[in-house]
Structure 1
Amino acid sequence: MNMLFRTRFLLAAALGVAVPQALLAQTSPSAMPAAPPTTGTMPLSLQQAVDYAIKNKSSLLATRLGEATAAARVGEIKSAGLPQVNVAATLSDNFKLQKSLVDVGAFGGGTAPALTAADIAKAQSGQTATLSQVNVERVALPPQAIAFGLQYAGNSSVSVSQLLFDGSYLIGLKAAKVYTELAKKQTQQAEIDVAEQVSKAYYSTLVARSRLSLLARNVQRLDTVLYQTDKTFKAGFAEKLDVDRLRVQRNNLVVEQQKAQRLTELSVGLLKFQMGLPQSQNISLTDSLGAAVVDAGSLRRALGVASLNTGGGALGQAPVPTAPATPGADNTAAQNRLDQQNALSGGLGSQARGAINYNNRIEFSTLETQQALAGLDLRNRQAGAYPRLVLTGAYGFLGSSNQLGELFAFRGPDSRNSNGFPNQNWFGFGNVGLSLQVPVFDGFRRKYLVQQSRLQQQTIEKGFETLKQSIDLQDAQSRTTLINALDVLDNQKANLDLATDVARVTRIKFNAGVGSNLEVITAETDLRSAQTNYYSAIYDVLVAKVDRDKATGELYNQVKK
């Protein structure tokens, strides 16, 4: 099976699955720099790679900007309850004053003091003259157009308003905290996705490098066999056909090694991309891949499948299956029902079923937050029927003049002209009041808004049921997949041991002159195939373990650390 180490490792790495640290031999943790070094090699453990990506991945930084935007939005909502202060100033050039019709005839007629010639004579002689009241006839005049105001006018004022009561605002304050929590959980989900991508790429690189190192050793071993066979041929004890076969085998192996080298470089580039590192930065992976095989037994014990009669057990290959206790018994239907139940429950026993903690899943927690927001939205729309009370106040000055320069003289009440008459041109004003708004009828708009909010709540409640079913299925699938992957790993490990032993014995027989060259080539081919399948099985176990952790919510807890 000429798969190299299966190209799908890198393709799967692009999708990203995070791998827990229990499967790795960790090195001592060290602090990660805020920015990558420009020179030298950066040592990276899996945890360091994930931490760096969470701090520096551009897509995650964009998500955090969304979280900051949500916080700013909350501040905007809260600001509505603080005092609102505004300063305004206007300057107008009334180049054409507006006129209004005034009934000036209404101001005429009636009694009025009259000055007669006798009164004038008395005044001229120094005597006191008392004006007498005379009746004045009212003259009928049509309404006259009169302009009020002067050409230039100014206005400067300060206004203050304070919200005293608004039901929607009070509920909005309660929703602010929930809204912030939702943004944080969305960021947490993004962090989990980044951790998955980085970890998958990290393991892909580990597998690629291990596979490349193994290919290099295979080339060296084949070179030794080729050298010995060539010497035997020159001594006349081997055929040229044996040498040619080994040369063909070596050429194929070298091409496979070159392809593995390029694929390894690609996996390293993918890891740098997932971390947000520049491609020019050199890295060194410090974690070990071998711990994954050692940990297979503990994984089986955690899954409750440490002693199986078929497939691999906790300590390696299980014995060959024995015959059924009742040969010939027709139990196909019963077995099918049992298999179906085990598949749907992930192979769990009856006492362990239904023990999933849904709250460990970030999706479930996010949906709960959305449900809380939907409830507050319903209350907010219902609160639209409450009155709204606002305290208002304003203070300012009005001024006017026929000349622009005179308008900026700012003459107050104590100002006098040359004749001693008041010539004030700016006048103050002020007011304080309460504004009460009572919604009476809005065309049933609020009724339909409330109806929409209730339907949204019901939709989220249905979403809980769907999510629980999905989590149950993911739990069953991940458990079954992990068990199967462990079985395959045990089987491939046994095959690798057998293929290694067969290749060793075949080389010994060939060197002793009792084996054929074709047997050596066949054994080497089988060995490389077993090695490839073994590394594929290791990778599949890692992926299945991550899927299991994600299904149970453990991956979320690891990222929170």
Structure 2
Amino acid sequence: MKKLFSPKLLLLAALAGVAPTALRAQSAQGALPAAPPAAGVMALSLPQAVSYAVQNKSTLLATRLAEQTARARVGEIKSAGLPQVNVGANVADNFKLQKSLVDFSRFGGAPLQGTKLTAQDIAAAQAGTAVTLSPAYGEAPQTGPTPLAFGLQYAGSTSASVSQLLFDGSYLIGLKAAKVYEQLAQRQTQQAEIDVVEQVSKAYYSTLVARSRLALLGRNVQRLDTVLNQTRKIFKAGFAEKLDVDRLQVQRNNLVVEQQKAQRLTELSLALLKFQMGLPQQQPVVLTDSLGAALVDAGALRKRLGVANFNTGGGVAGTSALPGQPTATPGQENAAEQTRLDQQAALSGGRAPQAVAAGNYNNRVEFSVLETQQALAGLDLRNRRASAYPRLLLTGAYGFTGSDPRLGGLLEFRGPNSRSSRGFLNQNWFGFGNVGLTLQVPVFDGFRRKYQVQQGRLAQQTIEQGFNTLRQSIDLQDAQSRTTLVNALDVLDNQKANLDLAADVARVTRIKFNAGVGSNLEVITAETELRAAQTNYYGAIYDVLVAKVDRDKATGELYNQVKK
């Protein structure tokens, strides 16, 4: 034991505890740098863009750091149940020793003033008889308290202590809560990933629509240039007025300006996509998906939603009523109630509302997050109650204390076998050790635990109210996203029909103008209406794509839909 726990060893161990801190500080500065952007042009499909964003978006990286923090927190909680070992050392220069008052008169008593010897005592002593002499004492001096310093100028100590937790109700509950806390961090990361998928999907679709509209404007400029050149030739031949040429020139100038604006908006949409992905703006990219591939199958989508077709006015097969219109039922007694049930059936796509709600609740990560928070609140309440249980620890310590008039003498660490040059013992360090049990029993804390338990119960009730609010919010989002998607599909059908009509009108107008039976003003009007129909059509396409993303998010299927 003396070899294992010598004063020098304990002192060096205490001083060496400073070294790991410096090493950690140096290693923190040598953290890995951020990955450089990819060289060359990066080809991106929507799944690839989402995958890159999930791996590189800065907000997600911060969320994953919080997840790692949760894991570290779990390790911290578990470490409380492991042995706790501490080593300490202390060296002090008592340049002014603390003094205490001591009354020495209480220790010495009255002074001895001699012994009275009589003639009888002398005679008895000469006769061989033992004689007991009676000492004579004087009056004890009253010196009063005198200051006295204890100890030497230099003092030191070094020790090692260990403690082991044997029982703690809060620790056992904390182990369960640590695992739930880690699950909460994982679900929050999943929720952040879904938000990133939504943002990237909308930005990707916006770029596709802007790119397609820009290409269409380019074709419109080419077609208008053809009409303008033909009109100029007709004007030179004397069969058209200069006013006709000027009108077409004005229209072309406006179309070129619109094309330039569309070009800038396309670049801005691409910059927004890079931002949502966490991609550097300097990185060139090319989108590999086409707008035609991104368009959803409206018929299949309507069938899944269980809604009417815009053109037929019927249901999926053109036989059922439009959403929200009650269907007459033979023997119906309560028309208002039946209307409400029909509307619910339309909003749920023909499924029972209870089944739709249960499916949405289980698919939504927000619901899982709230369930995890509820589990944590329950464990927190149990932990507050467990604070009333006793706490038992096993403790032990071993160390040395020393003192000396000189600092050099204190650092000599003279043990029990040390002797001076004159042969006297001059030990200046002395060992000590102890082993014991520590029992902590909370008796009265001023009702602090009572109010903590009340707070825990109120926190649970708050989360239960949060469940009601979340269910209502999910139901509303489900109905709202479905209605928005249905309306967007109807608008898309309408705008597609308008675009076909406007294109046909423009085609016929150009034929009439080339044949000399139509006016230039009719051509300009038809081209203007065609561009408006094209703009509305692409706007409707974007609205459908965004509504589809919102619908997938509301049903909890967004991440899976993007991966397909």
Q: Matched residues in 2 for 1:81 and 1:558: separation? A: 45
Aligned 8 A contact 2:552 2:561 in 1: no
Aligned 8 A contact 1:387 1:436 in 2: yes
Match of 1:440 among 443, 455, 468: 443
**Letter of the aligned partner of 2:557 in structure 1?**
E
Shift of 1:507: 1.1
What CA deviation, in whole Å up to 9, does each residue of 1:240-277 have, x standing for no partner? 22222211211111111111111111111111111122
Aligned pairs (5 A) from 1:115-514? 140=140, 142-293=144-295, 295-305=297-307, 311=313, 347-348=347-348, 351-356=351-356, 357=359, 358-514=361-517
The structure-2 alpha-carbon separation of the partners of 1:550 and 1:342, relative to structure 1 and needing over 3 Å to count, comes to: farther
Aligned pairs (5 A) from 1:17-96? 35-38=36-39, 40-96=40-96
Shift of 1:347: 2.7
**Letter of the aligned partner of 1:195 in structure 2?**
V
The structure-2 alpha-carbon separation of the partners of 1:346 and 1:135, relative to structure 1 and needing over 3 Å to count, comes to: farther
Shift of 1:173: 1.0
Q: Matched residues in 1 for 2:417 and 2:229: separation? A: 119
101-110 or 179-188, larger mean C-alpha shift: 101-110
Q: Matched residues in 2 for 1:526 and 1:204: separation? A: 23
Aligned 8 A contact 1:292 1:538 in 2: no
The structure-2 alpha-carbon separation of the partners of 1:411 and 1:512, relative to structure 1 and needing over 3 Å to count, comes to: same
TM-score computed with the length of structure 1 as normaliser: 0.82
**SS of alignment partner, residue 387 of structure 2:** helix
The residue that corresponds to 2:21 in the other structure is: none
Q: Matched residues in 1 for 2:267 and 2:136: separation? A: 113
The residue that corresponds to 1:538 in the other structure is: 541
Aligned 8 A contact 1:343 1:480 in 2: no
Q: Matched residues in 2 for 1:377 and 1:339: separation? A: 47
500-509 or 454-463, larger mean C-alpha shift: 500-509
The structure-2 alpha-carbon separation of the partners of 1:239 and 1:489, relative to structure 1 and needing over 3 Å to count, comes to: same
Q: Matched residues in 2 for 1:295 and 1:492: separation? A: 16
Q: Matched residues in 1 for 2:236 and 2:350: separation? A: 71
Shift of 1:220: 0.4
Q: Matched residues in 2 for 1:303 and 1:215: separation? A: 34
Shift of 1:109: 6.8
The structure-2 alpha-carbon separation of the partners of 1:382 and 1:556, relative to structure 1 and needing over 3 Å to count, comes to: farther
The residue that corresponds to 1:28 in the other structure is: none
**Letter of the aligned partner of 1:353 in structure 2?**
P
Q: Matched residues in 1 for 2:444 and 2:254: separation? A: 85
Q: Matched residues in 1 for 2:423 and 2:162: separation? A: 38
**Letter of the aligned partner of 1:219 in structure 2?**
V
Unpaired runs of at least 5, structure 2: 1-33, 115-131, 328-333
Aligned 8 A contact 2:345 2:352 in 1: no
Shift of 1:91: 0.9
**Letter of the aligned partner of 1:521 in structure 2?**
I
The structure-2 alpha-carbon separation of the partners of 1:69 and 1:137, relative to structure 1 and needing over 3 Å to count, comes to: farther
**SS of alignment partner, residue 354 of structure 1:** helix
**Letter of the aligned partner of 1:372 in structure 2?**
A
Aligned 8 A contact 1:312 1:318 in 2: yes
Aligned 8 A contact 1:343 1:476 in 2: no
Aligned 8 A contact 1:269 1:279 in 2: yes
Shift of 1:353: 1.8
Aligned 8 A contact 2:109 2:140 in 1: no
Shift of 1:133: 11
Match of 1:528 among 525, 531, 539: 531
**SS of alignment partner, residue 237 of structure 1:** coil
What CA deviation, in whole Å up to 9, does each residue of 1:269-304 have, x standing for no partner? 111111122222111000111134451111111112
Q: Matched residues in 2 for 1:523 and 1:312: separation? A: 33
RMSD: 3.2
What CA deviation, in whole Å up to 9, does each residue of 1:21-66 have, x standing for no partner? xxxxxxxxxxxx964324x211111111111112112222222222
**Letter of the aligned partner of 1:406 in structure 2?**
G
Shift of 1:102: 3.8
Q: Matched residues in 1 for 2:489 and 2:418: separation? A: 100
The structure-2 alpha-carbon separation of the partners of 1:496 and 1:135, relative to structure 1 and needing over 3 Å to count, comes to: farther
**SS of alignment partner, residue 155 of structure 1:** strand
Q: Matched residues in 2 for 1:54 and 1:301: separation? A: 32
The structure-2 alpha-carbon separation of the partners of 1:138 and 1:469, relative to structure 1 and needing over 3 Å to count, comes to: farther
The structure-2 alpha-carbon separation of the partners of 1:362 and 1:187, relative to structure 1 and needing over 3 Å to count, comes to: same
Q: Matched residues in 1 for 2:563 and 2:433: separation? A: 58
Aligned 8 A contact 1:362 1:556 in 2: no
Shift of 1:178: 0.8
**SS of alignment partner, residue 355 of structure 1:** helix
Q: Matched residues in 1 for 2:453 and 2:339: separation? A: 48
Structure scoring higher RCO (CA < 8 A, sep ≥ 6) equals 1
Shift of 1:346: 5.3
Q: Matched residues in 2 for 1:137 and 1:310: separation? A: 134
Q: Percent identity?
A: 76
What CA deviation, in whole Å up to 9, does each residue of 1:89-124 have, x standing for no partner? 1111122222334454554579x9x9xxxxxxxxxx
Aligned 8 A contact 1:308 1:318 in 2: no
Aligned 8 A contact 2:345 2:351 in 1: no
The structure-2 alpha-carbon separation of the partners of 1:134 and 1:458, relative to structure 1 and needing over 3 Å to count, comes to: farther
Q: Matched residues in 1 for 2:72 and 2:411: separation? A: 42
Q: Matched residues in 1 for 2:385 and 2:298: separation? A: 57
Shift of 1:557: 4.4
The structure-2 alpha-carbon separation of the partners of 1:211 and 1:134, relative to structure 1 and needing over 3 Å to count, comes to: farther
Shift of 1:559: 7.3
94-103 or 473-482, larger mean C-alpha shift: 94-103
338-347 or 421-430, larger mean C-alpha shift: 338-347
What CA deviation, in whole Å up to 9, does each residue of 1:133-187 have, x standing for no partner? 9979697464544322111111011111111111111111111111111111111
Aligned 8 A contact 2:180 2:372 in 1: yes
